Structure 1
Amino acid sequence: MAPGVKLIQKVSSTLLFARIAPHFIPAMDKAVHRLTRGKVLLSARMLPGVILTAKGAKTGEPRTTPLACMPEDGGVSWLLIGSNFGRPGHPAWTGNLLKHPDADVNWQGRDIAVRARLLEGAERAAAWQAVLRFWPPYATYQARIEREIRLFRLERR
């Protein structure tokens, strides 16, 4: 584990982080990603990340969202965790994927067409355990809220 990861995990589990992070992390990621032409995603210094582009559930217009992810099989598929930093509502991007599962991700500077699938039942339970081993603060997020955090598997199409 890289130096400082335990501290980052502790800070990211706090309520203050949940209140502040959604306002600055995505905006910062979008700006740096655009300026570096897809080569740098700052939040990926903490966790691997993708830039998700999916059609909006209501408008059908493209919506771009930087997200932490858990890569699987060396970047053949990815788990996306709809934690919303442990806040009550589901993040908008999860509704977008439910309505329009075909999307694109930018992964390490490459654009990749993907199809999203909401995980349920035993498949979700196994993925959730893997996610908790990968980034333990997700357990704190889940404990703070009544809704079940949505997990999506993105696979190349």
Structure 2
Amino acid sequence: MSVSKPPTLPPRWFIRGVWTGHRLLYRTTRRGLSRPRKGDRMGMLRLRATGRRTGRERAVILGYHLDGDSFVTLAMNGWAEPDPAWWLNVRAHPAAEVDTVDGTFAVIGREAAGAERDRLRARFDDYRGWGDIDAFSTRRQHTAVVVFDRA
């Protein structure tokens, strides 16, 4: 049996440039957020969390889907191995806020585990924009499924 290679990713400078551009678009126009549409695209939200070292607000735009009133995303770092800074911040300070096209919500972030994790992870396949999660996941030892419950 042969082991297939994980899919190729764009260069890291390109991924970071897209992230920076998306944040700039939101900051200057307040556009770039969207609702998820099952069978179509993932949603985009803006997470505002407290920096674990600085104590200052840090913002990042994330893809998500909904589970009831909760926002669900993956703690991936462009599929690179280290955890993303926003996830380290949320683990240190779970209380945060998310900006969506429907308003701003106070949330508490946590990692899904067990059957809940399996159920929520499978739902990412219902939305375009994530790519082949199973194939990309082979690049990382663990990718947390993060749930932001409304506070």
TM-score, normalised relative to structure 2: 0.80
**Cα offset for 1:93?**
0.7
Give the CA deviation at 1:155: 1.4
Contact kept, 8 Å, 2:33 with 2:100, in 1: the verdict is no
- 1:22 positional shift: 3.1
Query: Where in structure 2 are the equivalents of 1:1-157 lying within 5 Å?
Result: 14-16=8-10, 19-36=12-29, 38-41=30-33, 47-73=42-68, 76-108=69-101, 110-134=103-127, 135-145=130-140, 147-157=141-151
Is residue 98–residue 106 contact of structure 2 (8 Å, CA) maintained in 1? yes
CA contact (8 A) 1:29 1:41 kept: no
CA drift at 1:92:
0.8
Per the normalisation by structure 1, the TM-score is 0.77
- Which runs of 4 or more aligned residues in structure 1 lie more than 4 Å from their structure 2 counterparts after TM superposition? none
Deviation at 1:140, TM superposition (A): 2.1
Q: Indicate if the aligned counterparts of 2:32 and 2:44 stay in contact, CA closer than 8 A.
A: no
- How many residue pairs match? The answer is 139
Which residue of structure 2 aligns with residue 4 of structure 1? none
Question: What is the letter of the counterpart of residue 103 of structure 2?
Answer: R
Structure 1 stretch displaced more, 128-137 or 63-72: 128-137
Would you say the 8 A contact 1:113–1:156 is kept in 2?
Answer: yes
Instruction: Report the CA distance between 1:117 and its aligned residue.
Output: 1.3
Paired with 1:109 and 1:34, the residues of 2 have a C-alpha distance of 17
In the alignment, the residues of structure 2 paired with residue 114 and residue 85 of structure 1 have an alpha-carbon distance, to the nearest angstrom, of: 24
Unpaired runs of at least 5, structure 2: 1-6
Indicate conservation of the 8 Å contact 2:50/2:58, yes or no: yes
Gaps of 5+ in 1: 1-12
